[in-house]
């Protein structure tokens, strides 16, 4: 079967074709209009000259009589050329009275022409044996006699033919030049797209570091290049994230898995009673739960970090969240003899967020504050607003964080050395921060080793939030 060559299907070829067709149609239309206007102008000039000539003859006849008019006919005919012009005078009923040399005009059927009334009558004759037509004026002069003046349209016809030739050649030359020009333009317009394609092909071979250079082909191509580069940037982040997660998982999941394997081995080879086996089975369940929680937390962090997490947007009152968290962790605080205080403004501090995600972040920070504060210490939650932001501060009188660790504690699986004695996975802070950042907020920390730390969640206030009620000076509700 016939298959079209690939260049035929290319956009460059199609653009070129469209350009040439459009350019051709427009040029042809422009030439046709110019040609038509020129022809009309020249015909108008011929008519004006005929009418002027008729008027002149009328005046001569009236002033000097018919003899002088006949002499004028002959003189004009000889001057211009008897083949180019003729003059006739007919009686009112149409019989020829006299004329100029009519040898060259014999086969014109002049007597059959319609007779003019008061106004001069212009007409064109197209005799069969003549290549060019004859333009004529008939006019009543001197006692309703009829004057006829005719002129050949040969010079006009030849001039128009010449113009036609010039126009056709110019059009052909313009089209001939237009094809490579249109191709050049189409090629230039497609250069940006070709660059994107070329880079995409290189990336397809594994070179993710490549970016499409921004050219000067115009806004649309620039927007395409930028969108493509943004997409690459995002893919790069996702791939890096994936690699990091794989590394972390490989590193941090090995320990609990090894422990589970150890327990299983002991169960196989050991000689303990049913009670010992029960304990070991319980340990296996605990370690497995830890593993599942770690995997879930890791996935949740990755989703929040990469913007793939589906977040609800509901009105959330941070005061309510803080109070609920206090109720939830009160038993732990009591157990450790820690003074847990929540301070909120008199009214609500509302943000647009996913309630469960914010609850999760708050719980993680409060859990840490209680975990890293020794007994008889104090943990304080303060909810407030600052310009267009809402915040919850978690201040504890705990062990604090060393300056060297401050920048690292938000990394996945990172645990400061001091914390190794306490249980934990090193994922709580990174999950909390990823969730808050996904809402357009952030978590910051300040700490004094040995004295305590302050973690602060900052979230954008809900736009319609009534700031007049919740000002810094409004009364606070200690719980």
Task: Round to whole Å and give the CA distance between 191 and 275.
Answer: 76
Shortest separation between residue 247's beta carbon and ligand ADP, angstroms: 17
The nearer residue to ligand ADP, 260 or 409, going by C-beta atoms, is 409
CB 344 within 8 A of CB 305: no
Task: Round to whole Å and give the CA distance between 298 and 249.
Answer: 8
Q: Which of residues 445-474 bind ligand ADP (CB under 6 A)?
A: 453
Two structure tokens written together for 444 = 């910051």
Q: Which of residues 175-194 bind ligand ADP (CB under 6 A)?
A: none
The yes or no reply on residue 401 touching ligand ADP (CB under 6 A) is: yes
Q: Which of 1, 161, 282 is nearest to 274 (CA)?
A: 282
Q: Which of 264, 254, 247, 242 is nearest to 291 (CA)?
A: 254
**Binding map of ligand ADP across residues 421-450, x = CB under 6 A, - = no contact:** ---xxxxxxx--------------------
Shortest separation between residue 233's beta carbon and ligand ADP, angstroms: 27
The nearer residue to ligand ADP, 393 or 462, going by C-beta atoms, is 393
The yes or no reply on residue 398 touching ligand ADP (CB under 6 A) is: yes
The yes or no reply on residue 415 touching ligand ADP (CB under 6 A) is: yes
The burial of 273, by beta-carbon neighbours within 10 Å (0-12 exposed, 13-18 middle, 19 or more buried), is given as exposed
Shortest separation between residue 451's beta carbon and ligand ADP, angstroms: 11
Determine the size of the site formed for ligand ADP (CB under 6 A).
Answer: 21
The yes or no reply on residue 145 touching ligand ADP (CB under 6 A) is: no
CB 365 within 8 A of CB 417: no
**3-state DSSP call for residue 425?**
coil
Helix axes 219-252, 274-306, angle to 10 degrees: 170
Tell me the residue number closest to ligand ADP, measured at CB: 424
The nearer residue to ligand ADP, 283 or 411, going by C-beta atoms, is 411
The CA angle 195-199-205, to the nearest 5 degrees, is 155
- Which of the stretches 145-153, 167-175, 203-211, 418-426 binds ligand ADP when contact is defined by CB under 6 A? 418-426
- Which of the stretches 80-88, 148-156, 176-184, 412-420 binds ligand ADP when contact is defined by CB under 6 A? 412-420
- The sign of the dihedral angle between the CA atoms of 316, 320, 321, 324 is negative
Shortest separation between residue 15's beta carbon and ligand ADP, angstroms: 57
Q: Which of 398, 344, 343 is nearest to 370 (CA)?
A: 398
DSSP state of 461: B
The nearer residue to ligand ADP, 131 or 451, going by C-beta atoms, is 451
Shortest separation between residue 403's beta carbon and ligand ADP, angstroms: 12
Express the helix, strand and coil content of the chain in percent, nearest 5 each: 55, 15, 25
Shortest separation between residue 411's beta carbon and ligand ADP, angstroms: 8
**Binding map of ligand ADP across residues 352-391, x = CB under 6 A, - = no contact:** ----------------xx--x-------------------
Outline where DSSP puts E strands in 251-406: 314-317, 339-345, 350-353, 378-386, 389-396
The yes or no reply on residue 416 touching ligand ADP (CB under 6 A) is: yes
- Which residue's entry shows tokens 């969108």? 227
Two structure tokens written together for 80 = 């211009």
Shortest separation between residue 360's beta carbon and ligand ADP, angstroms: 12
The nearer residue to ligand ADP, 45 or 296, going by C-beta atoms, is 296
The yes or no reply on residue 297 touching ligand ADP (CB under 6 A) is: no
**3-state DSSP call for residue 108?**
coil
The yes or no reply on residue 298 touching ligand ADP (CB under 6 A) is: no
Enumerate binding residues for ligand ADP (CB under 6 A): 368-369, 372, 396, 398-401, 409, 414-416, 419, 424-430, 453
């Amino acid at each position: 079967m016939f298959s079209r060559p690939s260049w035929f299907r290319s956009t460059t070829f199609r653009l070129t074709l469209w350009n040439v067709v459009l350019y051709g149609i427009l040029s042809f239309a422009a030439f046709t209009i110019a040609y038509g206007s020129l022809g009309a102008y020249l015909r108008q000039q011929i008519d004006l000259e005929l009418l002027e000539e008729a008027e002149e003859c009328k005046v001569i006849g009236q002033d000097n009589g018919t003899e002088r008019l006949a002499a004028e006919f002959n003189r004009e005919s000889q001057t211009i050329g008897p083949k180019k012009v003729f003059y006739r005078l007919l009686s009112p009923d149409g019989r020829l009275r006299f004329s100029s040399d009519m040898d060259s005009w014999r086969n014109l059927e002049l007597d059959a022409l319609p007779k003019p009334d008061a106004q001069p009558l212009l007409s064109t004759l197209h005799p069969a044996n003549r290549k060019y037509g004859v333009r004529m004026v008939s006019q009543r002069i001197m006692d309703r006699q009829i004057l006829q003046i005719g002129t050949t349209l040969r010079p006009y016809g030849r001039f128009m033919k010449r113009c036609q030739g010039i126009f056709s050649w110019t059009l052909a030359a313009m089209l001939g030049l237009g094809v490579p020009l249109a191709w050049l333009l189409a090629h230039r317009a497609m250069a940006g797209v070709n660059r994107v394609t070329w880079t995409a092909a290189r990336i397809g071979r594994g070179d993710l570091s490549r970016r499409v250079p921004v050219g000067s082909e115009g806004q649309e191509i620039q927007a395409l290049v930028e969108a493509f580069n943004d997409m690459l940037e995002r893919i790069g982040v996702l791939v890096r994230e994936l690699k990091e997660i794989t590394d972390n998982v490989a590193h941090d999941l090995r320990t609990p898995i090894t422990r589970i394997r150890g327990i299983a081995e002991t169960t196989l080879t050991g000689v303990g009673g049913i009670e010992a086996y029960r304990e070991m089975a319980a340990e296996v369940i605990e370690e497995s739960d830890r593993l599942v929680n770690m995997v879930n937390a890791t996935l949740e962090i990755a989703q929040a970090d990469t913007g793939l997490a589906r977040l609800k947007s509901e009105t959330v009152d941070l005061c309510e969240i803080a109070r609920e968290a206090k109720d939830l962790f009160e038993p732990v605080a009591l157990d450790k003899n820690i003074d847990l205080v929540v301070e909120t403004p008199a009214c609500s501090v509302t943000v647009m967020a996913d309630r469960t995600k914010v609850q999760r972040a708050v719980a993680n920070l409060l859990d840490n504050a209680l975990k890293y504060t020794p007994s008889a210490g104090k943990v304080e939650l303060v909810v407030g607003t600052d310009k267009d932001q809402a915040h919850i501060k978690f201040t504890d009188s705990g062990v604090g964080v060393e300056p060297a660790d401050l920048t690292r504690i938000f990394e996945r699986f990172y645990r400061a050395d001091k914390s190794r004695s306490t249980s934990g996975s090193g994922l709580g802070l990174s999950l909390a921060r990823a969730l808050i950042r996904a809402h357009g907020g952030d978590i910051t920390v300040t700490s004094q080793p040995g004295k305590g730390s302050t973690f602060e969640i900052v979230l954008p206030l809900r736009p319609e939030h009534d700031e007049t009620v919740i000002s810094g000076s409004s009364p606070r509700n200690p719980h």
